[in-house]
Amino acid sequence: MTTAIKYPHAAGFVAGDRPKIVTSRFEHADSYTIERFLATGGYAGLRKALGRAATDVHEEVKSATVLGRGGAGFPAGTKWGLTPQQVFPKYLVVNGDESEPGTYKDRLLMERDPHQLIEGCLIACYAAGLSQCFLYIRGEMALAQERVATALNEAYAAGYVGKNILGSKFSVDIVLHWGAGAYVVGEETALIESLEGNRGMPRLKPPFFPAANGLYGQPTIVNNVETLANLPWLMVNGSEAYTAIGTKTSPGTRMVAVSGHVKNPGVFEIINGTTTFRDLLYGAEFCGGIRNDNELKAFVPGGGSAPWFTADQLDLPFEASQVGPAGSMLGSGAIMVMDSTTDIPAAALTLTHFYAHESCGKCTPCREGGTWLERILTRIVEGTGTEADLQQILEVGAMICPGDFPHASNEKLGLAAVPFPYKMTTICFVGPSAFAPLHSAITLFRSEFEARLVKRISIPVTAVSTPPTVWA
């Protein structure tokens, strides 16, 4: 019976023969217990960190260039350094609200190795002088909440969290917080609003850069789960060992979920910066090719918000400095693959619907434009759209993103890449994201949209107009 096994111990995760920084314990069925954690070097990184001055630990993280794994890719050590020196208290908010379409990694890290995340939080608080940590887990992730709650209870009891950690002068609480279903809360300022008990509507940056003006108006570091999960290994092995993996600008590893029309979809911890999309989609140790050996039509390289790539971009490495100029973004490590059988307008509609549905409603262009786009696109997908509708999509999109919209190059269409990012009239990226996938779909596959349009007989305007009524 397929439903008998509730939680195969790391569904979707494919270990492979690669260096492991954050998934080293996933092979154990009991990887989430404190016993297993301690037996496999758990909290050694914390102990090592506490044996050094906080500033030293901060320096170590800085020199390792641990890029943020949430989407923006900003180095964690640098981020910590942006808080004002003399303003207290400072907070750590852990972003475990993973909900970007295609993304599946933070949930695994929380379900499978919660202590590793806790240890990472502690190291961050210690290094950056953060007085309290709030671990925000997405509301729908029941198991992750249970595993992290259990782990925290264990860690408190064992003296790893709370007052005088390991008998030292380092004291910090980690508070488990959980959401209730709103994609936009993954945006860091919306996350802070939500943590304050408010509607999760993003704040404008500036003035609300969390590092200076975050939770309760205090300096706040918002780090992604995976980012923090890197820290224990980094503490134990040092920044040199860390930067020896991957490239100079993208050191270490990264968790990537590849889903959609591939033979073996899965979550992989890959070497940063060097692994290419082709490796991931076709490599035997990764997805092993497109299903039924179909042709690749397009793929989403970095989560639902990212403009799409085609086979032309397969040889790009997983490296932000190359993916951006090519017209998209790496985002949250989420690749969604579409094979030749894919109905492109319908696929694009799922994402346009997603972003329209998830708009918080704050900015007019996103609130009104997102649903407008969805309604026009629905008409086209259902076969009742017109040529004017297709044009209208681009014009509504321009109200959200005025100016050139990024897209990939395409040899067949003779397109040159327009680099990421875009100009926008909204506060956060949800608005533009309603248009990003759609824009690239229309750019790359216009004929598929046109094929769906109603062909109308064009009636000259003059033939149907009547003389204006003259009012007596």
Q: Pick out residues in 323-342 that bind other proteins (CB under 8 A).
A: 334, 336, 338, 342
Which CB, 206 or 468, lies closer to other proteins? 206
- Which of 29, 53, 451, 454 touches other proteins by CB under 8 A? 53
106 binds other proteins (CB under 8 A): yes
Which CB, 183 or 233, lies closer to other proteins? 183
Least separation in angstroms between CB 77 and other proteins: 16
354 binds other proteins (CB under 8 A): yes
The amino acid at residue 465 is: S
- Which of 30, 74, 84, 180 touches other proteins by CB under 8 A? 180
The answer to whether 281 touches 287, Cβ cutoff 8 Å, is: yes
| Cα distance between residue 77 and residue 421, in whole Å | 24
299 binds other proteins (CB under 8 A): no
Per DSSP bridges, beta strands 91-96 and 266-271 are unpaired
Which CB, 245 or 436, lies closer to other proteins? 436
Least separation in angstroms between CB 54 and other proteins: 6
227 binds other proteins (CB under 8 A): no
261 binds other proteins (CB under 8 A): yes
The residues facing 224 across adjacent strands are 95
| Cα distance between residue 65 and residue 63, in whole Å | 5
Q: In a 10 Å sphere around its CB, with 0-12 CB exposed, 13-18 middle and 19+ buried, how is residue 466 labelled?
A: exposed
| CA–CA–CA angle 202, 206, 207 (5° rounding) | 90
Which CB, 146 or 312, lies closer to other proteins? 146
Considering only residues 107 through 166, tell me which ones interact with other proteins, judged by CB under 8 A. 107, 126, 129-132, 138-143, 145-146, 149-150, 152-153, 156-157, 159, 161-163, 165-166
Instruction: For 319-381, give the DSSP string.
Output: -HHHHTTTT---TTTEEEEEETT--HHHHHHHHHHHHHHH--S-SHHHHHHHHHHHHHHHHHH
The amino acid at residue 106 is: D
12 binds other proteins (CB under 8 A): yes
Which CB, 20 or 243, lies closer to other proteins? 20
6 binds other proteins (CB under 8 A): yes
Least separation in angstroms between CB 25 and other proteins: 19
Question: How many residues in the shown chain lie near other proteins by CB under 8 A?
Answer: 128
The residues facing 222 across adjacent strands are 93
E strand or H helix at 267, and its extent? strand 266-271
Least separation in angstroms between CB 247 and other proteins: 26
